[in-house]
Every structure is written in structure tokens, then in C-alpha cells.
Amino acid sequence: MTEKFDYPFDPNYLLRKKKSIRRKLIEKNNFLEKRIAILGGSTTAEVKDMLEIFLLNGGIKAIFYESEYNRYYEDAVFANAKLKEFAPDIIYLHTSGVNISRYPSFSESAEEVENLILVEMERFSNIWDCISAEYSCPIIQNNFELPYYRGLGSLDNYHINGRTRFISELNSRFSAQARQRQNMYINDINYLSAWFGLERWYEKIFWYSYKYAMNVEAIPFLSHGIASIMNAIFGQSKKCLVLDLDNTLWGGVIGDDGLNNIRIGKENPEAEAYCEFQQYVKNLKDRGVILAVCSKNDEKNAREGFAHPDSILCIDDFSDFCANWDPKYENIRNSAKKINIGLDSIVFVDDNPAERDAVRSQEPQVAVPELGNNVSKYINILDKSGFFEAISLSSDDLLRNDFYQNNVSRDAAKSRYENHDDFLYSLKMVAEIKQITPIYLNRATQLINKTNQFNLTGRRYAATEVDLISKSPNYIALYGRLQDKFGDNGLVSIMIAAIRGDDLHIDAWLMSCRVLGRNMEYAMFDRLVMQATEVGLKSIIGHYYKTEKNNIVSNLFRKMGFQCVVVGGLPSSCWRLDISEAYTCKNNLIEVIK
């Protein structure tokens, strides 16, 4: 039994030792504090305890609200002063098969069964609507696991009166709702229970004795999954996968065995397993995970491995390629700098336990799963870890690797110019800066919640809040897109400012680091001032709230010409800029389209 929180962890160890584990985890500091309401249709105590541990391990300190036993509906739908006062950041609805009001009987007609489905959907839609209206926070909703028994055997799966069919139908309608609603995310217990094993999941003694809807041993996995979704919502998911090469991406040692003898392809079972793992990694890259290589090899040999005709991955798939004999943690630090991401956004995989240990001990921020050295398990371990959990897939995700590759071209171009402005000018940058519209809601929310460095206030918003703000006359809410001759950078910056009297308060100002040093912040600010002047505002108030990662913008307001008005006891500050007199635009390198 070991103290591990990354998959594959030991559920029974976590259950048995949860109190001391919690005690130790909570001694760390720099937690992100979040208020989480659990509305349960069955007992939730263990779900909460395990969730707390996984969140703490990921840097989130949760304050919990738990509904009374099986009061999820009442808590969500009726006026609830206690929950209102709690002001949840997230509401998790822990419901499952035991909360289905009624299953169809065998005598009911197709219309009656359909009606039963509609009634059930109505009940849950009502919950989701009420939560959205009252609390404007993201909802995590369990779907349903397959039934404990099948009255019709296999026929149960497709007969109109079957329970299995009934649940499958509800699940697909839950999914459709989650696709439609801005702020609702499914926790897929249908998948989890199948993977855990339905027979073990339905260890009914836990239901009869303690009203747990599932085997308590499954709960660590359940809570781990919920924590992964929460990490994604709060922008804490990992962004980059750093990979070893020999015996990680192919079998054998390229430097010793040579290109013709490494095992990748269809020739033998091991080669096939490496092929499938490369395909898995390629899929991650295709959905926006950044890839990098970190291998102890001569660079020439390392690169040659990807020339193998059966290699699925190619050199161009990697945003950084480190093959040398330096310690791996040093290479990982360099890669993080070059790619411009935090070390806590990185997952490192290596078949060699010594290398894993070295990275773990030198760079504890880097996630290093126990990959083992059996290639047929690599995919499962990485996939179940939830490191790269996503809550949406934006078009920017699909293009992300292009952005970073374009950055490499830009860096190459940069070396040809003596003056940075000349270089920027040569990029032929074109920006679109406008009020946020519904089409940009998802991407804007995603950017707000995962940008940590260029972020003045660190304030997070749910999609529903961004939606309300963008439509309110009391706010200016801008998005910025930036293109240049190397490609489209997508939506890269957000500003949210509240109008109070004659002042405009900048509540949120953030920008993706991939366009740092491109004058985009000036273009954004110019537009904000322009809009503020148009409605007759006299001054702009800027706030800087220090976080662990936003030191890079601690002096931004000074650079923009603000006067510091308050420096609190905290390393935070408040700034003012008078705009009642003529304002000179600060950006002259980016063309802003009208």
C-alpha cells in the first residue's frame, strides 16, 4: 500500500488512511480555495472525503456544503437560504440509478414509456434550470450506471420496456443536455461503473446498510474523476506531455539497437503495443495537448527513431525536443521555459523508475505517473489519470500545436531583425477587438479560467457570468483575436471592466502567454479607453492582485501610465488613470480591424 494520488492509486489505502492523509496535505500552502456544494441522492460522506483529498493534492482547498440525505432535488429547486449564503463555485449532483423515480413496467406502451422518460428529464432539467438561475455556477451531474439486474436478459437492452434501454435513453438525453447547456458537465459513472465492474459496483450491502449507491471501494475512483473535471473547470488541467523515447515510445534502445531493430510496427506483439501507445499520444496532440521529448540520447540517434516507417509520431509533432545527457529535470525546466508554460502544467512519462524518481524529487510540481515498464499498460495509466481532462474542445485546442509551431517560425524570423519593433512590424499583425458575443463565450471562459501568468486579478468566471456581463450595459467586456503572417493565434485576450459612476474598474484582464511581447496588451487597452471615452467615463481604475504566477504583470499599470493610488498591506495594488484629457494610443504595430 503506497501513498499515491495519481492513477493507479490504492483505493483501500486512501479509504483507511484518509484522516492522516488529509492532515498532511493540508499543511502545504498556496491553495486555491473553492466552495463546493454536493447535492446527493444517496450517502455522500465518503465521496466528499475522497474528493477533498484529491483536490488538496491538486492544490485546491475545498469548503463543502452537503445536502441532507437524498435532498438533492429540494435543495436545488426550492428557495434555499443556506446554499445561497454558501455561494457555491460548483454544484455537484451525486445522483445515480437509485434516484430514478420509476422504471417502465412491462405492460406500458411505447408512448407511456416515452412519457416516463420525459417526466424524468423534466425533473432534472428543472434542477439544472433552478441552479443556473439561482447560483450561476457550473454543475457537475452524474449520469446513470447500467441496472443491477436485467428482467429481460439481453433483450433488456433494446426492448422498449427494458430497464437497460431506459437508462441508456436517459443517459443519451443527459448528454444532449450537457452539450446544449453552457455550464453543465457530465460525470460519466456509466463508464466508471463498467470499468470498475458492475458486479463489484453493486455490492448491495453498502446500499442496504449505509445508503451508499455504490461499493465504497469505487468511491476513490468516482471522486478522482470528479476532481479531474473540477481541475478542468478551474483551469488546473495539465497542458503538456513530456516523453522519454527508448522503451517508452518504442521498444529497445535506438543508440544501441539501431533504427532497424527498435520495436515499433506490426511485426510482434510488443511492437504493436508501442504503435498503439504512439497513436494514443498522437490523439492527445490532435486535441491540443503539447508534446515534448526528453531523452538521454545523442540527438541524431533520437531523431532517427521517428524516421522508422511504422512510427506514428513524427518530429513535427513535438514542440520541443531535448535529447542529451543532462539530468532530465533540467531539460524539463528548459522545455517549460521555451514552450512558455508552468512546470505544474507538465506530465512526464518514462519507463525508467530512477528517472521518474529523479524528476519527482527535483521538480515536485511536475506530475510523474507510475508508468511501470509494461507498454501494454501505458495507455490505461495515462488515460485513467485524468491529467488532461477537458470540459470542452474549442477550435483553438485543435490548433494549439500549430500556434506553438508557428512560434518556432517566429523565433527564427526574429533573429533576422535587429530591432524588436521592426520584427513585430514585419509580422503584419491584425487584431480583432470587440465586445464578447455568444459565439466566443466558451473560448473566453476557458481562457479566463486557465490563464495564470498574464492575469491582473486572477479572478475566475463561469460561462453564465461571462454571458450576463457581456450583455450588461454596466460592463465593457472585450475579447481580442490576433493574426499574423505565420497564422492565426485565435482568441488570446479578455478584458472585463465594470462601470461605476465616472470610473471604469478593470475586474479582469488577461492574455495568453503565447502572444506575450507582441504589443497586444496595448491594443486591448487602447480599445478599452476608446469605449470608456465614448460613454463619457473620466478615469480607469486598475487592480493588481498578486498570485503565485502573475508577477510578470505586477508593473503593467505603471507601464500603461497609471498612478498608484493604494498599495495595501498585501502585495496587491490599485491604480488610476485619468482619461478625461486626450489619450494617445499606445499600440502602433498591430492593425486593429474595425
User: Of the two residues 46 and 89, which places its CB atom closer to other proteins in the complex?
Assistant: 46
User: What Å distances lie between residue 216 and 12, 190, 211, 449, CA to CA?
Assistant: 9, 16, 11, 33
Buried b (16+ CB within 10 A) or exposed e, 27-66: eeeeebebebbbbbbbbbebbbbbbbbbbbbbbbbbebbb
User: CB 3 → other proteins: shortest distance, Å?
Assistant: 12
User: Of the two residues 50 and 466, which places its CB atom closer to other proteins in the complex?
Assistant: 50
CA distance 144 to 74: 20
Give the contacts of 449 (CB within 8 A, at least 6 positions apart). 233, 234, 235, 460, 461
Q: What are the grid coordinates assigned to 383, written together?
A: 488515460
User: CB 45 → other proteins: shortest distance, Å?
Assistant: 5
Question: In the 8-state DSSP scheme, what is residue 156?
Answer: G
User: CB 36 → other proteins: shortest distance, Å?
Assistant: 18
Q: Which residue type occupies 135?
A: Y
Q: What are the grid coordinates assigned to 109, written together?
A: 406502451
User: Of the two residues 196 and 403, which places its CB atom closer to other proteins in the complex?
Assistant: 196
CA distance 170 to 173: 5
User: Of the two residues 18 and 338, which places its CB atom closer to other proteins in the complex?
Assistant: 18
Residues of this chain that bind other proteins (CB under 8 A): 12, 15-20, 23, 45-46, 205, 208-210, 212, 216-217
User: CB 47 → other proteins: shortest distance, Å?
Assistant: 12
User: CB 46 → other proteins: shortest distance, Å?
Assistant: 7
User: Of the two residues 45 and 253, which places its CB atom closer to other proteins in the complex?
Assistant: 45
Between β-strands 139-142 and 184-187, what pairing exists: parallel, antiparallel or unpaired? Answer: parallel
User: Which H/E stretch holds residue 62?
Assistant: strand 60-66
User: CB 20 → other proteins: shortest distance, Å?
Assistant: 5
User: CB 12 → other proteins: shortest distance, Å?
Assistant: 5
User: Of the two residues 65 and 388, which places its CB atom closer to other proteins in the complex?
Assistant: 65
User: CB 172 → other proteins: shortest distance, Å?
Assistant: 34
Question: In the 8-state DSSP scheme, what is residue 104?
Answer: P
User: Of the two residues 20 and 551, which places its CB atom closer to other proteins in the complex?
Assistant: 20
User: Of the two residues 44 and 401, which places its CB atom closer to other proteins in the complex?
Assistant: 44
Long-range contacts of the stretch 272-275 (C-beta < 8 A, 24+): 273/375, 273/376, 273/378, 274/249, 274/250, 274/375, 275/310, 275/312
Helix 375-385 vs helix 269-286: crossing angle, to nearest 10: 20
